[in-house]
Amino acid sequence: MPKTLFQKIIDREIPAKIEHEDELCIVIHDIQPQAPVHLLIIPKQVIPRVEAATAADQTTLGHLILTAGTVANKLGLAKGFRLVINNGPDACESVPHLHVHLLARRQLNWPPG
C-alpha cells in the first residue's frame, strides 16, 4: 500500500511546519488553513478513519485529544478552539489517515457546514 501524504510528512519526505511531535503523533500547520490557527494532529500509526479504529487504538485516539489541549494551551487559545475529525468522502475526508483538525482564532459558526 502506498504511503499517505501524512506518512511522508512523518518520515520527512515532504516538508511541513511542525508545531509539536512526540512518540505517538505529530502536529503540523495546515497548508490550506480555514482559520487563523489550523493545525492537524496526526497519529504516527496509520488509522484510516474513525470507523476503522479498534479498541487497540484507544490509547492513540485519546492521546490525540490530550495533545490538542496541550498545543492549544501552548498557543494561548483560552478563548476557544474546535476539533474536527472527518470520516469518509461525504465528510470531506481527503487523506485516508485519521487526523484531528484544530481550528481557532476566529468565530466558528454552529451548526458547522
Residue type, 24: L
Grid look-up 487559545 returns 77
Catalytic residue among 38, 97, 99, 101: 99
Region of residue 76 (phi > 0: left; psi between -120 and 50: alpha; otherwise: beta): left
Cβ distance 81 to 37 under 8 Å? yes
Quick check: is 38 catalytic?
no
* Active site residue ranges: 99
